[in-house]
Amino acid sequence: DAKTTQPNSMESNEEEPVHLPCNHSTISGTDYIHWYRQLPSQGPEYVIHGLTSNVNNRMASLAIAEDRKSSTLILHRATLRDAAVYYCILRAPQLKYSGGSNYKLTFGKGTLLTVNP
Amino acid sequence: DSGVTQTPKHLITATGQRVTLRCSPRSGDLSVYWYQQSLDQGLQFLIQYYNGEERAKGNILERFSAQQFPDLHSELNLSSLELGDSALYFCASSGSAYQETQYFGPGTRLLVL
């Protein structure tokens, strides 16, 4: 699996935007970029994913660099509930569905986001 | 609530013992994944089942085994437990679609004394 690099920790203030960076210089042309987060004492939860174009959903936005060697997860207005470890994960696509044999997630250390009130 | 349930929530046992962790996937999900999270190793993939069959193996010890039953629930069996097996064990499930999101359960916290 291609490797991702994230800062160990970041800090933000409540109701301010947060930009969480991820470097993935060895990404292959078909790898998807996924973000999961893990709130304290909970299992990881899906946040967003994308391939080339920027993506938005109700939780966050994902900005992908033109060369795809980096991406940024954007939380538009951080809340205290957004304090979590954020994981940037690359996933190879399934060219042909085969029962999910390539679907495992490889987690790095992630970024611990602290949100100050 | 992800729709994935895991039991028990906490488990305390002694070295050398055997335990079984149970996972019920989201309704309709065919794939079940097991992950282990420890302080020193982080979140690591152990094994995946799809519709009753083993599909992928990660860093799973030989003392550990899993299975998925016809009703799609899964069990992770940990035997000859060692102190180092103390960790959080998460189950996740996903459907059959391409690039499907994984939904994680709340985890089982295992403490081996």
- What value does the mean pLDDT of chain B take? 93
Q: Is A105 on the interface with B (CB under 8 A)?
A: yes
> What pLDDT was estimated at residue A4?
94
Contact criterion met (CB below 8 Å) for B89 and B45: no
Q: For B44-99, how does the pLDDT look when each residue is reduced to its tens digit (9 = 90+)? A: 999 999 889 998 889 899 999 999 999 999 999 999 999 999 999 999 998 865 55
Opening angle at CA B74, ends B73 and B76, nearest 5: 160
Instruction: Tell me the average pLDDT across A97-106.
Output: 65
Which residues in chain A are contacts of B43 at CB distance < 8 A?
A: 38, 44, 87, 105, 107
Q: What is the pLDDT of residue B56?
A: 87
Confidence check: pLDDT of A33 > 90: yes
**What pLDDT is recorded for position B41?**
84
Nearest Cα residue to B68 out of B58, B55, B57, B53: B53
**CB–CB of A107 and B55 under 8 A?**
no
How would you classify the pairing of strands B10-13 and B108-112? parallel
Per-residue pLDDT for A100 more than 60?
no
Nearest residue, CB atoms, A105 vs list B2, B45, B98? B45
Q: Is omega for the bond preceding B25 within 30 degrees of 0, making it cis? A: no
Inter-chain CB proximity A46 and B55 less than 8 Å: no
